[in-house]
Structure 1
Amino acid sequence: MTLTESRIEDSYPTRVAGEAMLLDRAEPTVWGGEQDGPFDAAELAAHETKGYSIIEGLLSPAEIQGYWQELVRLSSDEELKTDERVITERASGSVRSVFEVHKISELIGELARDPRILDRASQVLGSDVYLHQSRVNYMPGFKGAGFYWHSDFETWHAEDGMPRPRAVSCSIALTDNYAFNGGLMVMPGSQRTFVQCVGETPDNHYKASLREQKLGVPSENDITKLAAECGIEQFTGPAGSALFFDSNIMHGSGSNITPYPRSNIFLVFNSVENALVEPFAAAEPRPAFIGARDFTPLKR
């Protein structure tokens, strides 16, 4: 299947010229039921409320070691560093992310179809799913830069053409996540609010934003409002843990100035019923390695 050319109503206008607003979300966070997958009713209810779920011990120690070795291989591949799918740190030049990694790495491609992950994503979204984006993130000790507060859906809506927040991300930790080594922070319940952002999207904005995002981020005032209402929690835990979180939840991470690295595999599942259209706030869609336009359902 390919990108649909249809135009639909923009329920979440953003990249506005005037003052940004906080909009109530119309859609649920959880679309499926207990009968549809591994999450039980209580876990689904908690996910609906908080916008995220943590699965400890998703990967075994042997699996963790295998995937960690794969990340080392990818970051050490000098030929791969010339690929546009590899993003480097602005200051140090070290590898920050590798996108479309499920196509680069057969091992990670298989992981995206693992029932422990795929079945949970399909259950939360209540439908077949496809992989909107995949990447590995590296946050080395002492010099790993953080990610400022943002909603993924705001960018995917504005620049990729994702109609509604019917997508879920799975972040799988390959290193221990401590409170002090740049772990991911989330605002529980913030997925129910869409935060508009100010400013017009420049052409080829992705080239700068993947290294440091300055456009498509909420104002400090709006972040303060959400934090006061929702609070802030942090994803910590041993390697092998997984975090499933809603596409619209407000999240970010600080820089890592400790000796302890933090790396993860990041898989974004979108409902096949929420396939991309043309971007809502950009002249052209981002490249397919960032926002896939093949909506073929993933199968085990």
Structure 2
Amino acid sequence: MTATIDTTTDVFPTRLSAPGEMIERRQPTVWGTADDGPFDAPALEAHATRGFTILEDFITSEEVAGYTAELDRLATDSSLAGDPRVITEQASGEVRSVFEVTALSRAIDALSRDPRLLDRARQLLGSEVYLHQSRVNYMPGYKGTGFYWHSDFETWHAEDGMPAPRAVSCSIALTPNFPYNGGLMVMPGSHRTYVPCVGETPENYHEASLKEQRIGVPSEDAITDMAHRYGVEQFTGPAGSALWFDCNIMHGSGNNITPFPRSNIFLVFNSVENALTDPYAAPAPRPDHIGNRDVTPLRPLS
């Protein structure tokens, strides 16, 4: 499916001076068909309804071990000290995330182009795709802090200039996701509702928000309404599981106060027909390592 996306009219206003009305989304969640890729028709229908899909055993145990070694290497690489792509925990100073990881790891770059991912991303978005963002996330035992409820699309729209919710994220677990070690929580079906947020975006806000986001998060009243309307489910499963989720689904995670760490590879695929424009609610675009502006379609490595 191809469609012209209007970039001149902001149909998803946010970062307002006062709370705004929730907006029911008109754009599809699934843009392709069962003939376009690995997901069959029932799987696509379920994804469109719920806004996410969990695939266990998405990568092998050998692959998990290899990517875990890459995460360990990146977290201890002294040449990355002070690199803006490395985000540390506000309290402990431990590595929280490493952005633009496909430029730092050949193995993860190859994974982003693997047909297991690329074919599903193309199918869900109904077009060629590129990587809007890539990163690895660390949530160490006892010290890992979570993220408050939010929609990724709200941030990408406001601060990166993503016109429409035609992007999908794939989170691949490299450790077991238990109900108690800070796993991701989602509100099934909430991707159909866009929640405007209150508060003007400060200059260079990404320098603070990637550690703790305070602007670009819904009000407690909005979260309460959404939670009662949609309920809350959690991404649990063994290492090697993959969570595919729509860019506008409401999600968040709690702190990890257990001894069991949690880490994952996080890849965001955006349609090449949904290229970034100027930010809709920020003084300037975030750096390219956070919001990639090169829409060259991803191709498998030969």
TM-score bracket for the superposition, by shorter chain length: over 0.9
2:291 maps to a residue whose letter is G
C-alpha distance in structure 2 between counterparts of 1:151 and 1:172, whole Å: 19
Alignment partner, residue 3 of structure 1: none
C-alpha distance in structure 2 between counterparts of 1:200 and 1:61, whole Å: 45
2:71 maps to a residue whose letter is L
Structure 1: which 5+ residue stretches go unaligned? 1-5
> How many corresponding residue pairs?
295
Alignment partner, residue 190 of structure 1: 190
Alignment of 1:44-193 (within 5 A): 44-193=44-193
Deviations 1:269-292 (A, max 9, x none): 000000000000011000000000
Maintained 8 Å contact 1:188/1:231: yes
Q: What SS class does the counterpart of residue 79 from structure 1 fall into?
A: helix
C-alpha distance in structure 2 between counterparts of 1:224 and 1:122, whole Å: 34
Deviations 1:27-65 (A, max 9, x none): 010000000000000000000000000111011010000
TM-superposed deviation, 1:7: 5.3
Alignment partner, residue 252 of structure 2: 252
C-alpha distance in structure 1 between counterparts of 2:134 and 2:81, whole Å: 17
- What is the TM-score of this pair, normalised by structure 1? 0.97
Maintained 8 Å contact 1:163/1:274: yes
C-alpha distance in structure 2 between counterparts of 1:42 and 1:215, whole Å: 37
C-alpha distance in structure 1 between counterparts of 2:167 and 2:246, whole Å: 7
Larger mean CA deviation between 22-31 and 73-82 belongs to 73-82
1:108 maps to a residue whose letter is I
TM-superposed deviation, 1:20: 2.6
2:181 maps to a residue whose letter is N
TM-superposed deviation, 1:81: 2.5
Q: What SS class does the counterpart of residue 72 from structure 2 fall into?
A: helix
Deviations 1:148-171 (A, max 9, x none): 100000000000000000000000
Maintained 8 Å contact 1:7/1:278: no
C-alpha distance in structure 2 between counterparts of 1:88 and 1:52, whole Å: 28
Alignment partner, residue 271 of structure 1: 271
- What is the TM-score of this pair, normalised by structure 2? 0.97
Moved over 4 A (4+): none
Alignment partner, residue 40 of structure 1: 40
Identical aligned residues as a percent = 66
C-alpha distance in structure 1 between counterparts of 2:16 and 2:279, whole Å: 14
C-alpha distance in structure 1 between counterparts of 2:179 and 2:235, whole Å: 8
Task: Specify whether residues 145 and 53 from structure 1 end up closer, same or farther in structure 2 by C-alpha distance, changes over 3 A only.
Answer: same
Maintained 8 Å contact 2:151/2:251: yes
Alignment partner, residue 217 of structure 1: 217
1:195 maps to a residue whose letter is V
C-alpha distance in structure 2 between counterparts of 1:26 and 1:15, whole Å: 21
Deviations 1:124-161 (A, max 9, x none): 00000000000000000011000110000000000000
Q: Give the root-mean-square deviation of aligned CA atoms.
A: 0.8
Q: What SS class does the counterpart of residue 267 from structure 2 fall into?
A: strand
